[in-house]
Amino acid sequence: MNTRIIVIGDLHTDLQQLVFILQARGAVDSSGAWTGGNTWVVCMGDIFDGLRPDIRPDSEYLGSALELRLVDYILQLDTQARKESGRVLSIMGNHDVCAHMGVNSMYHKRADIQSFKDRGTDRQRELAPGGALITKLAKEWPMILRIGRFVFVHGSLEPRLLEATKGKGLEKIDKLNRDLVRFLRDGREASWMDRSFNPLFSRYFTQENQQTADDLRKTFSLLDNKVDTMFLGHTIFPEVTGLFHNRVICTDVALSRAFGSDSPVEIIEIRDGVICRVKLKRS
């Protein structure tokens, strides 16, 4: 088990928030270079898409091209962290997988679209299945990540999906991750991608009731009880929230300035297996 894991909810292109969080937790220095040793940093998906419908962010954020810079920074930090047995990565979110789609045009800033052009390429082409950038990210960022007894997934990992997936126990996670890599590489869709239990989109375990409690136990059982805590992004809560006696931890608190300048800064930090909610305040 990693001695420290920092878990960060959906960033939606907000590079400054990530830098602030990592500096506040001593994982990077004032220049942004890695100082976290063997710490793992797990971003919970939705790195892409820096606008929200009907929300007008501040002009500085709106005019800043942050999307590609955030991706570059995560990849660069990961290279630095790996040298010390740490990691900095994101899992895949629905906005990452679908960032190329025209239907999402209300979700991307003009500055971010232009930043691709400034590099001599096209955002839609780079992020569509088979595109150079999304193919690279598919190799680096899993859809489902397991670290010890913790599992990280953007939406929810439902038992219906696991029952429909070949393999035993944790092999099912590997199979699902391979499915997404194949889709992002060449566009071949797995059968689960258009189902309600798609783990990128499902919000199933953000609803706390007897049925979902039973199904959470079933999910863990289908993974041979090798995991006992599920971390989620995707669904916004006013604060980092534990459900099902803290067996589900909801991390999306609208960190990005895409949601307005008053967004809270709350994260999870796991030290020696102990899960702690951390609220950060700017000086």
Per-residue pLDDT tens over the stretch 98-122: 988 764 578 899 999 999 999 999 9
Secondary structure tally for the chain: helices H, strands E: 10, 10
Q: Does some domain include residue 240? A: yes
pLDDT tens, position by position, 219-230: 999 999 999 999
Q: Domain containing 46: what range?
A: 4-152+235-279
DSSP H or E stretch at residue 8: strand 4-8
- Residue 76 in any domain: the answer is yes
CA dist 203 and 20 (Å) reads 28
Closest to 256 in 3D by CA, of 30, 70, 38, 35: 70
Max Cα-Cα span within the chain: 53
Q: Are 234 and 96 in contact (CB under 8 A)?
A: no
Residue 26 lies in a domain: yes
pLDDT in tens, 31-58: 999 999 999 999 999 999 999 888 888 8
| CB-based contact 214:137 (threshold 8 Å) | no
Give the number of domains in the chain: 1
Separation of alpha carbons 7 and 87, rounded Å = 12
Nearest alpha-carbon partner for 271 in 27, 32, 31, 46:
27
Residue 230 belongs to some domain of the structure:
no
Which of the four pLDDT bands, split at 50, 70 and 90, describes residue 273? very high
- 42 token code pair: 């797990």
Coil/strand/helix, residue 50: coil
Tokens of 258: 């895409």
- Answer yes or no: is 159 within a domain: no
Report d(CA 3, CA 22) in Å as an integer: 16
Domain presence at residue 247? yes
Residue 165 domain-assigned (yes or no)? no
Which CATH number does the domain housing residue 272 bear? Answer: 3.60.21.10
The DSSP code sequence of 119-169 is: TTS-HHHHHSTT-HHHHHHHHHS-SEEEETTEEEESS---HHHHHTS-SST
List pLDDT tens digits, range 56-74.
888 999 999 999 999 999 9
Cα 134 to Cα 137, 165, 187: the distances in Å are: 5, 24, 11
**Model pLDDT, residue 1:** 57
Establish if 127 belongs to a structural domain: yes
Q: pTM of the full predicted structure?
A: 0.96
